[in-house]
Structure 1
Amino acid sequence: MASQIHKRVVELFPRKLITPVTGALALVIGISGGMLFFHFGEGLVKSAHEWLGMLFVVFMLIHILSNWNAITQHFRQRVARNAALSIVLVTGLFLGSGAVSQTKDPNLVSGALEEAPISLLAVLFKVDEAALIDELGKRGLVIANDGQTIQEAAKRAGVDGHHVIKQLVSSVAVLR
């Protein structure tokens, strides 16, 4: 059964195609991950990183199926098993520590930003208050005064304040 699946995968996705595509995607994901780590071009890079990451997972699984015999032979070696186990353990530690340090409400910061007066948001985002009000106006939010909050304006406009904050945070660099 396993050999039939292996044979079918190799027929549908030849190794001469899958291996370079998987390698290229790994390179792009690595570069975009580094860019995200250093907060460079976060808006477009984040989206590309996420979508190409999903594509990478698909191609990586096909690559593993295409090379199943070689991979199983490789993992007969103790070094390979130990390396894989180490990576899994370190990943688990990172994910576990992140879960422990999470606040009870992941939208805590977003909620605080929604409830902050526009004048304070301008200071926090290091942008001109008039530019911030203009940007919010383009998004359908009418700001009556600098003491008004996103939450109030969003409610009046019938939009989700959390969504407005997400959009605003992702585009604040343009306002500077």
Structure 2
Amino acid sequence: MKSLRRWATPLTIASFLIMGVTGTLMFFHLETTLGKVVHEWAGWAMLLGVGAHLALNWRPFTTYLKRPLAMGIMGVGTALLVMTFLPLGPEGGNPMMAVVQAVEQADMETVIALSGQELDAGLTALKEAGFEAEAGQSIRDLAEGDRGVQMQMIQTLFTR
């Protein structure tokens, strides 16, 4: 337990600092790509640190379960967490996801035209990236449903 004590609280504090700052930047749409990645990985570090901290302080934690205010705060937090799994919001969900799905399902000629390239140039770019694409195919069919491969193809076409 002594070795656990040495790193549990410092890890919790460090990951909270990272999560707090990067989360605030994300709230105001000021995040960077690295900031988002660090935020996501710091979440795992925070889970580990908080879990260890909770194990070290289990008995004091259980006293909070007897206090109405503490139970209310934890109950509201739990309810908010559950609500994040509900399909609330505008009909149809995230419009950017709908755009990506439309691009994945469209024929190669349409996608390449949307990327601002000529058909031959787009097909060549895909070939150079390791994708044997032909006119008439969709990105989804070519990638055989692999989302990672689909994103690579979209990136290849739209970042030139």
Q: Considering the TM-score relative to the shorter chain, is it more than 0.5?
A: yes
Residue type of the partner of 1:175?
T
Residue type of the partner of 1:163?
G
Please, which of 150, 156, 175 is the counterpart of residue 139 of structure 2? 150
Please, which of 62, 74, 77 is the counterpart of residue 72 of structure 1? 62
Please, which of 31, 48, 73 is the counterpart of residue 83 of structure 1? 73
Identical counterparts, % of pairs = 22
Segments of structure 1 that go 5 or more residues without pairing to the other structure are 1-9
Give the number of equivalent residue pairs. Answer: 152
Task: Tell me what 2:159 maps to.
Answer: 175
More helix by share: 1
Cα root mean square deviation, aligned: 3.8
Paired residues of 2:12 and 2:50 also in contact (CA < 8 A): yes
Q: Normalization by structure 1: what TM-score? A: 0.61
Distance 2:146 2:73 in 1: 46
Residue type of the partner of 1:13?
L
Q: Normalization by structure 2: what TM-score? A: 0.66
Is the alpha carbon distance of 1:109 and 1:48 closer, same or farther for their aligned partners in structure 2, counting shifts above 3 Å? same
Once the 2 structures are TM-superposed, how far is the Cα of residue 85 of structure 1 from its aligned partner?
0.4
Please, which of 132, 136, 142 is the counterpart of residue 126 of structure 2? 136
| SS class of match (2:2) | helix
Once the 2 structures are TM-superposed, how far is the Cα of residue 150 of structure 1 from its aligned partner?
2.4
Distance 1:35 1:65 in 2: 31
Once the 2 structures are TM-superposed, how far is the Cα of residue 121 of structure 1 from its aligned partner?
2.7
Paired residues of 1:150 and 1:161 also in contact (CA < 8 A): no
| SS class of match (2:84) | helix
Is the alpha carbon distance of 1:162 and 1:61 closer, same or farther for their aligned partners in structure 2, counting shifts above 3 Å? closer
Task: Tell me what 2:10 maps to.
Answer: 20
Paired residues of 1:114 and 1:161 also in contact (CA < 8 A): no
Distance 1:45 1:166 in 2: 21
| SS class of match (2:130) | coil
1:1-176 equivalence runs, <5 A? 10-14=1-5, 16-36=6-26, 38=29, 40-42=31-33, 44-97=34-87, 112-122=102-112, 127-129=115-117, 133=123, 135-144=125-134, 148-151=137-140, 154=142, 162-168=147-153, 171=155, 175=159
Is the alpha carbon distance of 1:22 and 1:168 closer, same or farther for their aligned partners in structure 2, counting shifts above 3 Å? farther
Distance 2:122 2:45 in 1: 36
Distance 2:17 2:124 in 1: 40
Residue type of the partner of 1:149?
S
Segments of structure 2 that go 5 or more residues without pairing to the other structure are none
